[in-house]
Structure 1
Amino acid sequence: MTDLTTTPRHTTPRRTTPAAAPEVREPAHVPLAHVVRGGVIEGVHHGSVVVLAADGGVEFLAGDIEAAFYPRSALKPLQAVGLLRAGLPPLDDEALALTAASHSGEERHLTTARRILDAAGLSEDDLRNVPDLPYGAERREEWLRLGHGRTRLAQNCSGKHAAMVLTAQARGWPLENYADAGHPLQRALAETVEDLTGQRIARVTVDGCGAPLYSVSLHGLTRAIARLATAAPGTDEGRVAHAMRAYPEMVSGTGRDVARLMRAVPGLLAKDGFEGVQVAALPDGRAVGVKIADGADRARMPVTAAALARAGVDPGILAGFARTPVIGGGAEVGSLRAAGALAPRAPEEPAP
């Protein structure tokens, strides 16, 4: 296991000249998923999706992939790259994966976050994320049964925040305000987001955890995840991608759909975000980006599976992700599945 207290290693990242920021407007989303119960469409989820070819060209799109939006936690892999560029002391792969995680609050997640902090004599009191209960439902119930309350370590972004405060300490920057948008650390992360997405940030706000959140386009975010997925080993992008692939359950949690998807599709790099966001990329650069307009998480994975099939992933591998059962009286009476421009209508499905 790598010594977490090793002197920071700086690399010379590949830089791009960012294009103009995406336009802040109401996105022109389109229908992407149908909720079908008993042969009748009872719900429609709108959104936008993009599929990139290995050369970076747009292979398929539906909706509005150029409008500004907030990627939420789907930004974390980019921020992890930014932390390495800013001087994050070297971490082993398990800890680096947690840096890019929206974890479930399992014991291994909390232990690893503590390990990141302990390496430099820091503690949970140095974190500035909001206290919360574990994200995973089973873990949350267990946590409450044990009499625990909301803590900063249990909050799903604690790995990112632990790495942020560790980087700030390594660089000699103030610790108490490391999460402020004007802090040198956050300015460095914003620069990395612009470099990887290839566009200026449209707006900056505060994410649920308390860290800055940057608005880019779905197209730009998908380009960025493709850059990580295709990066050479040993580069900052390549190190983050390798760690996430090696430890999918550290990036999310046991049984979570993102971890299962990364396990199912060889070489896939994937990250989800609140409000119906998902990005995923293959080692050859093919990539998909999904935004569900109403933020419904239930539509995220079926639409992602359909997009990956468009990118050339074997539909058989994706079958377990392509539909969500609709239950009535304890039995399956329908399903939620991709529709509209993304997937042809099944023969038995009625017209909208």
Structure 2
Amino acid sequence: MTQPHPLVEIWRGPLAESLHSGHAVICDANGNIREAWGDPATLILPRSSAKMLQALPLVESGAAEAAGLSTERLALSCASHSGAPIHVERVQRWLADLGLGDDDFRCGVQIPMGEPERDAMLRANGTPCQAHNNCSGKHAGFLTLAQHLGAGPEYIDPAHPVQQACLQAFEEVTGETSPGFGIDGCSAPNHACTLHGMARAMAQFAAASEGADARQTAMVRLWQAMVAHPELVAGETRACTELMRACSEPVALKTGAEGFFIAILPKRGLGVALKVTDGATRASECAITALLVRLGVLSADHPTAKRYMNAPIRNWRGVTTGMIRPDARLLS
């Protein structure tokens, strides 16, 4: 097995004080690895980076069309949102249109992820609900599919028709039989695959053609919804949202817990997947930024790129003490 590759360095003064290692793969639509760092065969849990795969049955089954889902709702079905009003209110209207309420969710109550939203709720002595959960859009999609299939309310059960449809799509698009699953933070199953399999899946999204078949049409509609509504996929100041806005061509980006990140590059037919082995978000955001620069879809001089790559680290007095920067081999 190839060892994890250095991905991101944390510098303080003249020394690289810390190092984040991991694995990264760039794949084309034929499943071929274009470039890789570390071990493409490493087994991973893609966490929330798999939400586009979990949303495929929602679209390709006809459930999204039957429910009249807008591009905003398709973006939310792929989102790990901040729990801002623009997210929560849209999810709540979606639920109401299904004739359902917050108690029908199975994702759990979560205080908003976004600091401004969290602070505002605390100042107002507000109470979060399940619609504030960062995965509530995905779960609204699950409930929409469950209604379409005439299936029962326990849609997160691995044996439920919704989760069986998600597993089938996951295995077919990654090109692998999943060896098992973990339970995600939102209580839904999260299936394992190799990093190569996840990059292969993202490349299939990138190369899909609307109208070719139900699956490819679903892929195109999902990534297009993400690119059209980056503020719904994550939220203001969040890396997914800011980097999608900054790219010079359409690129769909999605973070996952524990240092995971994916990119879908439709104009180039490429998919990217990376995993930071210590689970650090600061490292995955820096590494994906470096790979976007490497692939020519993001300028290294763009202010957003500078926020995540070669960004200064400051102490409590605002003094610059070092920087976070990608390993040089991600760029060269």
What TM-score, normalized by structure 2, do the two folds share?
Answer: 0.90
Q: Please give the root-mean-square deviation of Cα atoms over the aligned residues, in Å.
A: 1.8
Shift of 1:55: 5.6
Equivalent in the alignment of 1:182 = 159
Please state whether the residue corresponding to 1:180 is helix, strand or coil. coil
Partners in 2 of 1:87 and 1:205 — Cα distance? Answer: 28
Does the CA-based 8 Å contact 2:72-2:232 persist in structure 1?
yes
Shift of 1:43: 0.5
> One-letter code of the match for 2:309?
A
For residues 8-157 of structure 1, the aligned pairs below 5 Å read: 28-53=3-28, 56-90=31-65, 91-157=69-135
Equivalent in the alignment of 1:246 = 228
Task: Assess, with a 3 A threshold, how the Cα gap between structure 1 residues 151 and 194 changes in structure 2: closer, same or farther.
Answer: same
Shift of 1:332: 1.4
Task: Assess, with a 3 A threshold, how the Cα gap between structure 1 residues 147 and 308 changes in structure 2: closer, same or farther.
Answer: same
Equivalent in the alignment of 2:327 = 339
Structure 1 gap ranges (5+): 1-25, 345-352
Partners in 1 of 2:7 and 2:324 — Cα distance? Answer: 10
Shift of 1:197: 1.0
> One-letter code of the match for 1:242?
Q
Structure 2 gap ranges (5+): 212-216
Deviation by residue 1:298-333 (Cα, 9 ceiling, x = unmatched): 111211122223323343444443223211341212
Equivalent in the alignment of 1:315 = 300
Identify the match of residue 275 of structure 2 among 248, 268, 291.
291
Shift of 1:204: 1.3
Does the CA-based 8 Å contact 1:287-1:311 persist in structure 2?
no
Partners in 1 of 2:2 and 2:31 — Cα distance? Answer: 22
Equivalent in the alignment of 2:210 = 233
Does the CA-based 8 Å contact 2:207-2:270 persist in structure 1?
no
Does the CA-based 8 Å contact 1:286-1:311 persist in structure 2?
no
Shift of 1:343: 4.4
Does the CA-based 8 Å contact 1:288-1:311 persist in structure 2?
no
Task: Assess, with a 3 A threshold, how the Cα gap between structure 1 residues 27 and 174 changes in structure 2: closer, same or farther.
Answer: farther
Partners in 1 of 2:147 and 2:22 — Cα distance? Answer: 41
Task: Assess, with a 3 A threshold, how the Cα gap between structure 1 residues 315 and 76 changes in structure 2: closer, same or farther.
Answer: same
Deviation by residue 1:83-123 (Cα, 9 ceiling, x = unmatched): 22344232100011001000001111111111221112111
Does the CA-based 8 Å contact 1:76-1:100 persist in structure 2?
yes
Partners in 1 of 2:260 and 2:310 — Cα distance? Answer: 17
Q: 1 or 2, which has the higher helix percentage?
A: 2
Identify the match of residue 206 of structure 1 among 160, 178, 183.
183
Partners in 2 of 1:102 and 1:56 — Cα distance? Answer: 27
Partners in 2 of 1:335 and 1:255 — Cα distance? Answer: 19
Please state whether the residue corresponding to 2:182 is helix, strand or coil. strand
User: Percent sequence identity over matched residues?
Assistant: 36
Equivalent in the alignment of 2:214 = none
Please state whether the residue corresponding to 1:168 is helix, strand or coil. helix
Please state whether the residue corresponding to 1:250 is helix, strand or coil. helix
Shift of 1:256: 1.1
Greater mean deviation of Cα atoms: 219-228 or 288-297: 219-228
Task: Assess, with a 3 A threshold, how the Cα gap between structure 1 residues 306 and 54 changes in structure 2: closer, same or farther.
Answer: farther
Partners in 2 of 1:216 and 1:203 — Cα distance? Answer: 9
Deviation by residue 1:215-248 (Cα, 9 ceiling, x = unmatched): 1111111121222223223511111111111001
Partners in 2 of 1:311 and 1:57 — Cα distance? Answer: 16
Shift of 1:82: 2.4
> One-letter code of the match for 2:237?
G
Q: How many residues align?
A: 318
Deviation beyond 6 Å, 4+ runs, structure 1: none
Task: Assess, with a 3 A threshold, how the Cα gap between structure 1 residues 167 and 55 changes in structure 2: closer, same or farther.
Answer: closer
Partners in 1 of 2:131 and 2:27 — Cα distance? Answer: 36
Does the CA-based 8 Å contact 1:88-1:163 persist in structure 2?
no
Residue 273 (structure 1) aligned with residue 251 (structure 2)? no
Partners in 1 of 2:258 and 2:70 — Cα distance? Answer: 30
Please state whether the residue corresponding to 1:122 is helix, strand or coil. coil
